């Protein structure tokens, strides 16, 4: 299978992380499972700042997500792709456009170019959007008790996030695969696995 950069996006509690682990185990080729924010030593420090600190202004929050991304792409993702691996990444640039743009209201064109700067133009081969009603997703997050600073935003914020993801998926249909995340974990894993197999031929 050729090296692929695959991202998983969606509102909170959509089941991305569980699906990534199950697909990685099924692929049978060298796979890097990674995430944003929080990969590597630097990423872990930035993640603590981002998700566990008290109030951060939207601009500070943005810069931290971008700093994490630039380091992640340059030092972790690109070397793995160059070595022929498949990279499965839990959240990436689309989360910035949606959470900081549609959610926080920062300028979307600026965010697009900031993302290009941070990724040095790397764009995923496939992006799976796990679409879910935020009321259902947030209930799942509350049940597993790991709520972070963004999970605690009001419901309207998460509704804007969901609509934002659906809108950007419509703008780039060749890259996005939109999945109904209320399906069972097995159904989701099958769809993701089959799509990657087709694409990687």
Q: Which listed range, 29-37, 106-114, 162-170, 176-184, lies at the site for ligand TYD (CB under 6 A)?
A: 29-37
Positions 171 through 200 that interact with ligand TYD (CB under 6 A): none
- DSSP assignment of the chain equals ----EEEEE-STTSSHHHHHHHHHHHH-S-EEEEESS--HHHHHHHHHHHHHSS---HHHHHHHHHHHHHHHIIIIIHHHHHTT-EEEEES-HHHIIIIIIIIT---HHHHHHHHHHHHTT---SEEEEEE--HHHHHHHHHHTT---TTTTS-HHHHHHHHHHHHHHHHH-TTTEEEEETTS-HHHHHHHHHHHHHHHH-
Q: Does 148 bind ligand TYD (CB under 6 A)?
A: yes
Site string for ligand TYD, 80-109 (x = CB under 6 A): ----------xx---xx--xx---------
Q: Give the residue with the Cβ less far from ligand TYD, 27 or 67.
A: 67
Residue 51 CB, nearest distance to ligand TYD (Å)?
Answer: 6
Q: Does 12 bind ligand TYD (CB under 6 A)?
A: yes
Cross-strand bridge partners of residue 35: 90
Q: Does 29 bind ligand TYD (CB under 6 A)?
A: no
The one among 33, 56, 122, 150 contacting ligand TYD by CB under 6 A: 150
Site string for ligand TYD, 35-74 (x = CB under 6 A): xxx-------------x-------------x---------
Which residues here bind ligand TYD, judged by CB under 6 A? 12, 17, 35-37, 51, 65, 90-91, 95-96, 99-100, 148, 150-151
């Amino acid at each position: 299978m050729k090296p692929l950069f695959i991202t998983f996006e969606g509102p909170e509690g959509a089941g991305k992380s569980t699906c990534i682990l199950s697909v990685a185990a099924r692929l049978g080729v060298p796979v890097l499972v990674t995430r944003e924010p929080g990969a590597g030593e630097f990423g872990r420090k930035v993640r603590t700042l981002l998700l566990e600190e008290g109030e951060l202004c939207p601009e500070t929050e943005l810069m931290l997500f971008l700093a994490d991304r630039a380091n992640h792409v340059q030092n972790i993702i690109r070397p793995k792709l160059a070595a022929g691996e498949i990279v499965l990444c839990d959240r990436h640039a689309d989360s910035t456009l949606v959470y900081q743009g549609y959610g926080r209201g920062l300028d979307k064109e600026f965010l697009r170019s900031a993302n290009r700067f941070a990724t040095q133009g790397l764009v995923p081969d496939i992006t799976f959007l796990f679409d879910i009603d935020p009321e259902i997703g947030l209930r799942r997050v509350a049940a597993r008790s790991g709520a972070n600073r963004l999970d605690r935003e009001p419901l309207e914020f998460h509704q804007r996030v969901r609509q934002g993801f659906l809108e950007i998926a419509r703008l780039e249909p060749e890259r996005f695969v939109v999945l109904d995340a209320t399906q069972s974990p097995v159904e989701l894993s099958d769809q993701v696995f089959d799509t990657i197999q087709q694409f990687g031929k």
